[in-house]
């Protein structure tokens, strides 16, 4: 019998297994597909690999402004895919090596609960019973397939298949304007594909800061991406070798045509075949209910990541995995979601952490806001990437940072500073007193903190500015 058994080897699962092993537990890790899960194999990593290839190609268009001549620039989609696949393979091999080096026993197959301490593992025709004192569920999520007539037609794919088209289509319709939808739109539009986004809600990326959303829509338009919001897709049919997507906006029926259709309508927990409910694990539909220790309603069973979390992010799953593993071996740990950074790899990038203006005011916080545009940042100018801004929210009473919303190049690399600031209850004065290197994009954080109190050096003077009381 194992001390800890982890079901699922995605970011949360393999992290949980390694942490349990570090703490001396005899550990088993079960995976039915590829180590690394969706994030490494079909999501985060391959998407970002393609995004980097596309951005490298697009950067050639502005080389003349840098004094560099580039003639007859082109791209090779096959080589882009090969690069993506090589990165995935290398990282997957690295995770497998980490698992092995921590003396974790890796099992291949699909698990189903028999009891609270045992599972049946199915691998082809072979069935094996595995037992453990504690079990951590990390089975991840799968794409949501909206019940639209025609969703099963050839050429209608999910985000899992969207990064492996045999040939680059001339046109793509993306159903869903969330993170997955806009990231894929940026990739394919950058390669010259005609892209349309159909979003049922009133806006794309509905949960992000409205200022960023408004700026992003202008960028998407410049990238020749058509965005249709409040658009309810009704049917998908074949039409002369193309897919005809019929949709309604405000009661008005319309349609558009595209060679391929990508269903980017979200993801749901992959728990259907797990048999967790049958042994007493409390569920909310497909999602497993857990407490702050990641413990389920069955004392020795824990759940992490997309199988249980309302925040479907790989780094959240990894943090939850550490908490679950520590509790499973007798330590005491709890999750803290107060400073979870979120990153969106559009061009420019989006990053945020903490509260939005609306959320802060709903909590009764008297918010002061500091902003700084990238067009006033020297490093951004030298890079030729001046679109975007930094926005920091603080509590007027004591200047404590409560939220941050960034839009611009490499902001996903900058957001961790503000996540740490929120985690440590840092204030505007502490950001202002921290010397930021020049010339860097990170100076925008320093400048925005000063702007909140009317003391920004590199912006036009404000009169009657209100600072921290």
Of 3.30.565.10, 3.30.390.30, 3.40.50.920, 3.40.1480.10, the CATH number of 342-452 is: 3.30.390.30
2-143+268-328: CATH class? alpha beta
Q: Collapsing DSSP states into helix, strand and coil, what is residue 94?
A: helix
Who has greater pLDDT, 166 or 263? 263
Burial (0-12, 13-18, 19+ Cβ within 10 Å), 168: middle
Higher pLDDT, 408 or 466: 408
Place of tokens 């269903």: 263
3-state class of 200 per DSSP?
coil
Q: How far apart are CA 34 and CA 121, in angstroms?
A: 16
Report pLDDT for 467: 46
**Residue 263 tokens, joined:** 């269903």
For residues 145 and 263, is the Cβ–Cβ distance under 8 A?
yes
Task: Map out the domains of the chain as residue ranges.
Answer: 2-143+268-328, 156-265, 342-452
Q: What percent of the chain has pLDDT over 70?
A: 98
Q: At what angle do helices 44-59 and 77-101 cross, to 10 degrees?
A: 140
Domain 2-143+268-328 matches domain 156-265 at the CATH topology level: yes
Q: What tokens appear for 402 in the block?
A: 């409560």
How many CB atoms neighbour CB 278 within 10 A?
11
For the entire predicted model, the pTM comes to 0.94
Q: Does pLDDT of 466 surpass 60?
A: no
pLDDT of residue 462: 63
Residue-wise pLDDT tens digits, 348-388: 999 999 999 999 999 999 999 999 999 999 999 999 999 99
- Cβ proximity of 177 and 197 under 8 Å: yes
Rounded Cα–Cα distance for residues 212 and 431 (Å): 23
Superfamily of domain 156-265, CATH level 4? FAD/NAD(P)-binding domain (3.50.50.60)
What torsion, rounded to 10 degrees, do the Cα atoms 174, 177, 182, 184 define?
A: -30
Residues designated as active site: 438
Question: Rounded to whole angstroms, how far apart are CA atoms 461 and 99?
Answer: 56
């Amino acid at each position: 019998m194992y001390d800890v058994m982890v079901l699922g080897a995605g970011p949360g699962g393999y992290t949980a297994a390694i942490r349990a092993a570090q703490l001396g537990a005899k550990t088993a890790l079960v995976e039915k597909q590829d180590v690394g899960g969706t994030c490494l194999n079909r999501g985060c990593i391959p998407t970002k690999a393609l995004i980097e290839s596309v951005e490298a190609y697009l950067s050639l268009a502005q080389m003349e402004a840098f004094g560099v001549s580039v003639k007859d620039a082109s791209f090779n989609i096959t080589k882009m895919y090969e690069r993506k696949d090589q990165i995935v393979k290398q990282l997957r091999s690295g995770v497998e090596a980490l698992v092995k080096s921590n003396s974790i026993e890796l099992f291949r197959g699909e698990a189903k609960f028999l009891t609270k301490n045992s599972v049946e593992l199915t691998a082809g025709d072979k069935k094996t019973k595995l037992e453990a004192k504690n079990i951590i569920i990390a089975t991840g999520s799968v794409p949501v397939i909206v019940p639209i007539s025609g969703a099963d037609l050839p050429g209608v794919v999910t985000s899992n298949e969207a990064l492996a088209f045999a040939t680059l289509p001339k046109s793509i319709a993306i159903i869903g304007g969330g993170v997955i939808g806009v990231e894929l739109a940026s990739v394919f539009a950058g390669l010259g594909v005609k892209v349309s986004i159909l979003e049922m809600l009133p806006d794309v990326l509905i949960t992000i800061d409205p200022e960023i959303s408004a700026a992003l829509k202008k960028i998407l338009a410049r990238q020749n991406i058509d965005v249709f919001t409040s658009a309810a897709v009704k049917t998908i049919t074949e039409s002369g070798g193309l897919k005809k997507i019929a949709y309604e906006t405000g009661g008005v029926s319309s349609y558009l045509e595209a060679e391929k259709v990508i269903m980017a309508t979200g993801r749901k927990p992959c728990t259907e075949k797990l048999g967790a409910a049958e042994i007493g694990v409390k569920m909310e539909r497909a999602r497993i209910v857990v407490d702050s220790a990641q413990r389920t309603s069955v004392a020795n069973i824990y759940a992490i990541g997309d199988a249980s979390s309302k925040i479907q992010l790989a780094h959240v799953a990894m943090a939850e995995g550490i908490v679950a593993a520590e509790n499973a071996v007798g330590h005491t740990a709890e999750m803290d979601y107060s400073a979870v950074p979120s990153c969106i790899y559009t061009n420019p990038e989006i990053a945020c952490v903490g509260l939005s203006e609306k959320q802060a005011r709903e909590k009764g916080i008297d918010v002061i806001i500091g902003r700084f545009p990238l067009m006033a940042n020297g490093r951004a100018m030298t890079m030729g990437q001046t679109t975007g801004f930094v926005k920091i929210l603080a509590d007027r009473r004591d200047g404590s940072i409560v939220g941050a919303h960034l839009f611009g190049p490499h902001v996903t690399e900058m957001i961790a500073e503000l996540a740490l600031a929120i985690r440590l209850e840092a204030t505007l004065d502490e950001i202002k007193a921290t010397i930021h290197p020049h010339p860097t994009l990170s100076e925008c954080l320093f400048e925005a903190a000063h702007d909140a109190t009317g003391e920004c050096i590199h912006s036009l003077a404000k009169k009657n500015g209100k600072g921290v009381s």
